[in-house]
């Protein structure tokens, strides 16, 4: 599979696949039958899943957002996927996020998580939409009009998390969206690329989630046999345990430490973790709680010890999924590794031991999900029924019964699309309303399951207890999304209520956001350009100002005066200018004036490198 940005006919709408990751996101499309990842301006296929919200309301995504990490970390949102579709309480339960979270009550009193940026709050859906919009723009620049889009989600995402992801895609202005489970996408790309058939396990450990699925790959049919996972178990958790360890070693009190220090240490922990995938031990300079500096060494062995409890959690998930599907280890033909966290040597050896075989490493874990999504998008848009993809429901769905129990209507691992129905009756004479509580989960009591929707079927004609016939039907579409229909059927005039469970953001709110986003789109493009020039301009002013001092001897006085004047104009423009065009002109001016100065600087560096001496020292 090729790495480069595709070049192709830009006329027809092109189906694309998006891996919307916790840490990084990737967009791909199929060109000449092969999936190709689309690189961005910075030549990287991975778009960091981070969003920067400027105080004036504009936003930047990816590397551009990352430039603000050092100076404005409190306006940066990262790992938002972990909060998508969660209630405020669920979001607040996540440890050591380094993000400020607030709860805002919506009309139906569902409290959904918002990120608090001080002057505004942002929902995880809105932040995810920014990332999706940036990826769609990347795709548009490479292949023209974007058609059907497949967005991947962790297989273990429940209905609320799926609905939220789909809303984010709508908010991003994607015209036609389908959801696909990440391990299924990976297996699709793997199966189609290698033309292998058999029973394959996908062990997918990304930044925020762990997913495990087993699929049967055969010519033209990809059938998911079982799926299981944990949507709050990812590489981020490794960062957190390491960060907690570092906090202790540096003398911080975990309960009292401020969000800024946590954010910084989480970043340090992540880069130590990455380095430890290559080196047996690494050192880093850090600040103790009392502000004194210290150099700490962390060994791979120490990190492995911290990761072990998390690995054992993945083992329990794998065991349960295999047991559910009555699959034995010897039945498997291979194990495919997906997700950045599977780069860690301890994960590879753990998987090798668990499955009693070396995992297959012939796919790039960073790209395979987007490639699979692109293949599925292409198949859906262009090839119809060439390939049959049979996915399953990750968690059981049902309703609350009298006494707070949970009655399953659809069991986990049921192939989708699917539907089921049940019949209820009234408990009291002349009861004219019936409250239905839709839930998802594996526990016996309703209070331990995920609440998806509550609604009242009203207008039941008065009759004796037990006489009414309330039909409740659950319907899961090919995206794994649920619609619930309820009707009273004894009387000729049945009342039908159709509910799409929501996670707290109502359809009207999403529609309003959508309208606002559309109205702002043109402004957004200009605003984005302006923001880019501002970032670029600020760094140019700094670097040229520094060079004017350090390499002053390379300039004539006339040149120096001209450059100083241009720097000043740009500096003033950065403060006051609201149009991108003028900033662009100021930038061009400074670039032109410093071109020959830069050449002289480069020549001097080369000379110094060749002679190994500082020329000024010799004079």
* Cβ–Cβ < 8 Å for 564, 557: no
Which residue in the set 47, 132, 337, 344 belongs to the binding site for ligand AMP (CB under 6 A)? 344
Angle at 341 (CA atoms; ends 335, 345), nearest 5 degrees = 75
Output 183 or 441, the one with its CB closest to ligand AMP. Answer: 183
Output 274 or 529, the one with its CB closest to ligand AMP. Answer: 274
Q: Which residues contact 416 (CB under 8 A, 6 or more apart)?
A: 391, 392, 393, 476, 477, 478, 480
22 contacts ligand AMP (rule: CB under 6 A): yes
277 contacts ligand AMP (rule: CB under 6 A): yes
Active-site residue among 126, 182, 237, 378? 182
480 contacts ligand AMP (rule: CB under 6 A): no
23 contacts ligand AMP (rule: CB under 6 A): yes
Distance, CA of 82 to chain centre: 8
Output 189 or 397, the one with its CB closest to ligand AMP. Answer: 189
Angle at 373 (CA atoms; ends 510, 141), nearest 5 degrees = 75
Of 411, 476, 484, 410, the C-alpha closest to 453 is: 484
Rounded to a whole number of angstroms, the minimum distance from the CB of residue 14 to ligand AMP is: 24
Whether 204 is a known active-site residue: answer: yes
* Cβ–Cβ < 8 Å for 85, 503: yes
181 contacts ligand AMP (rule: CB under 6 A): no
526 burial via Cβ count (<10 Å: 0-12, 13-18, 19+):
middle
* Cβ–Cβ < 8 Å for 147, 175: yes
Which residue in the set 339, 441, 480, 501 belongs to the binding site for ligand AMP (CB under 6 A)? 339
Contact map string, positions 220 to 249, toward ligand AMP, x by CB under 6 A: --------------xxx-------------
- Quote the tokens at residue 322: 């295999």
Q: Which stretch binds ligand AMP (CB under 6 A): 29-37, 266-274, 576-584, 595-603?
A: 266-274
24 contacts ligand AMP (rule: CB under 6 A): yes
Which residue in the set 340, 359, 372, 480 belongs to the binding site for ligand AMP (CB under 6 A)? 340
Residue nearest to ligand AMP (CB): 235
Q: Which stretch binds ligand AMP (CB under 6 A): 95-103, 143-151, 336-344, 468-476?
A: 336-344
- Quote the tokens at residue 517: 């986003």
* Cβ–Cβ < 8 Å for 366, 26: yes
Active-site residue among 81, 225, 264, 273? 81
Whether 19 is a known active-site residue: answer: yes
Q: What is the DSSP letter of 81?
A: G
Rounded to a whole number of angstroms, the minimum distance from the CB of residue 365 to ligand AMP is: 6
Output 14 or 343, the one with its CB closest to ligand AMP. Answer: 343
Whether 330 is a known active-site residue: answer: no
The size of the interface with ligand AMP (CB under 6 A), counted in residues, is: 18
Rounded to a whole number of angstroms, the minimum distance from the CB of residue 206 to ligand AMP is: 3
343 contacts ligand AMP (rule: CB under 6 A): yes
154 contacts ligand AMP (rule: CB under 6 A): no
Active-site residue among 159, 167, 204, 245? 204
- Quote the tokens at residue 570: 């740009």
Q: Which residues contact 616 (CB under 8 A, 6 or more apart)?
A: 553
Which residue in the set 273, 408, 412, 528 belongs to the binding site for ligand AMP (CB under 6 A)? 273
Output 147 or 234, the one with its CB closest to ligand AMP. Answer: 234
Pairwise CA distance, residues 482 & 155, whole Å: 15
**Roughly what angle, to the nearest 10 degrees, separates helices 300-324 and 345-355?**
40
Output 170 or 367, the one with its CB closest to ligand AMP. Answer: 367
263 contacts ligand AMP (rule: CB under 6 A): no
Which residue in the set 6, 17, 21, 394 belongs to the binding site for ligand AMP (CB under 6 A)? 21
Rounded to a whole number of angstroms, the minimum distance from the CB of residue 241 to ligand AMP is: 12
537 contacts ligand AMP (rule: CB under 6 A): no
Q: Which stretch binds ligand AMP (CB under 6 A): 162-170, 253-261, 312-320, 341-349?
A: 341-349
Pairwise CA distance, residues 224 & 327, whole Å: 12
Which residue in the set 34, 67, 196, 274 belongs to the binding site for ligand AMP (CB under 6 A)? 274
Own/partner long-range contacts of 313-317 (Cβ < 8 Å, ≥24 apart) = 313/210, 313/230, 313/233, 314/203, 314/205, 314/210, 314/212, 314/230, 314/233, 314/350, 315/350, 315/354, 317/210, 317/212, 317/228, 317/229, 317/230
**Positive or negative, the Cα torsion across 458, 463, 465, 470?**
negative
User: Annotated active-site positions, please?
Assistant: 19, 81, 182, 204
Applying CB under 6 A, which residues contact ligand AMP?
21-24, 206-207, 234-236, 270, 273-274, 277, 339-341, 343-344
């Amino acid at each position: 599979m090729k790495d480069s940005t595709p070049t192709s006919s830009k006329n027809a709408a092109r189906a694309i696949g998006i891996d919307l990751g916790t840490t990084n996101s990737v967009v791909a499309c199929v060109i000449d039958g092969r999936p190709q990842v689309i690189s961005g301006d910075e030549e990287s296929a991975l778009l960091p899943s981070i969003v920067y919200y400027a105080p004036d309301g504009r936003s930047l995504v990816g590397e551009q957002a990352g430039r603000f990490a050092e100076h404005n970390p409190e306006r940066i949102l990262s790992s938002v996927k972990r909060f998508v579709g969660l209630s405020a309480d669920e979001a607040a339960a996540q440890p050591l996020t380094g993000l400020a979270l607030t709860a805002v009550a919506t009309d139906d009193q569902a409290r959904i998580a918002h990120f608090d940026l001080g002057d505004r709050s942002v929902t995880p859906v809105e932040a995810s939409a920014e990332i999706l919009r940036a990826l769609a723009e990347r795709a548009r620049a490479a292949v023209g009009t974007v058609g059907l889009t497949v967005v991947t989600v962790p297989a273990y995402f429940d209905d609320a998390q799926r609905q939220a992801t789909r809303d984010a895609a709508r908010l991003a202005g994607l015209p036609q969206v389908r959801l696909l489970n990440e391990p299924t996408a990976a297996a699709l790309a793997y199966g189609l690329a290698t033309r292998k058939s058999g029973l394959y396990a996908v062990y997918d450990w990304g930044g925020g989630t762990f997913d495990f699925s087993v699929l049967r790959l055969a010519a033209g049919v990809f059938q998911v046999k079982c799926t299981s996972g944990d949507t709050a178990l990812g590489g981020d958790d490794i960062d957190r345990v390491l960060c907690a360890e570092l906090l202790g070693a540096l003398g911080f009190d975990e309960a009292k430490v401020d969000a800024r220090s946590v954010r910084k240490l989480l970043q340090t922990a992540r880069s130590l973790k990455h380095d430890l995938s290559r080196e047996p031990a690494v050192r880093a300079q850090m600040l103790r709680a009392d502000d004194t500096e210290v150099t700490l060494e962390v060994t791979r062995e120490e990190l492995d010890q911290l990761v072990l409890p998390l690995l054992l959690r993945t083992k329990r998930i794998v065991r349960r999924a295999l047991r559910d599907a009555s699959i034995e280890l010897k039945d498997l033909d291979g194990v495919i590794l997906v997700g950045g966290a599977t780069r860690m040597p301890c994960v590879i050896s753990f998987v090798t031991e668990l499955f009693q075989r070396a995992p297959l490493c012939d796919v790039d874990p960073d790209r395979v999900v987007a490639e699979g999504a692109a293949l599925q998008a292409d198949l859906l848009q262009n090839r119809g029924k060439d390939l049959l993809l049979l996915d399953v429901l990750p968690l059981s769905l049902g309703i609350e019964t009298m006494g707070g129990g949970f009655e399953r209507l659809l069991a986990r691992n049921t192939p989708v699309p699917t539907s089921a129905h049940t019949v209820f009756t009234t408990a009291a004479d002349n009861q004219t309303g019936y409250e239905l509580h839709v839930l998802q989960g594996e526990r016996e009591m309703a209070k331990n399951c995920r609440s998806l929707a509550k609604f009242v079927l009203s207008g039941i004609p008065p009759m004796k207890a037990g006489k009414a016939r309330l039909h409740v039907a659950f319907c899961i579409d090919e995206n794994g999304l649920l619609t619930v229909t309820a009707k009273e059927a004894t009387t000729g005039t049945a009342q039908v209520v159709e509910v799409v469970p929501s996670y707290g953001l109502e359809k009207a709110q999403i529609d309003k956001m959508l309208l606002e986003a559309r109205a702002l789109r043109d402004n957004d493009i200009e605003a984005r350009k302006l923001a880019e020039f501002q970032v670029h301009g600020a760094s140019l002013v700094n670097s040229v100002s520094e060079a004017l001092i350090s390499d002053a001897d390379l300039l004539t006085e006339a040149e120096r005066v001209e450059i100083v004047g241009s720097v000043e104009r740009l500096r003033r423009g950065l403060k006051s200018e609201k149009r991108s065009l003028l900033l662009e002109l100021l930038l061009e001016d400074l670039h032109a004036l410093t071109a020959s100065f830069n050449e002289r600087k480069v020549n001097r560096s080369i000379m110094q490198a060749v002679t190994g001496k500082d020329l000024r020292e010799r004079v």
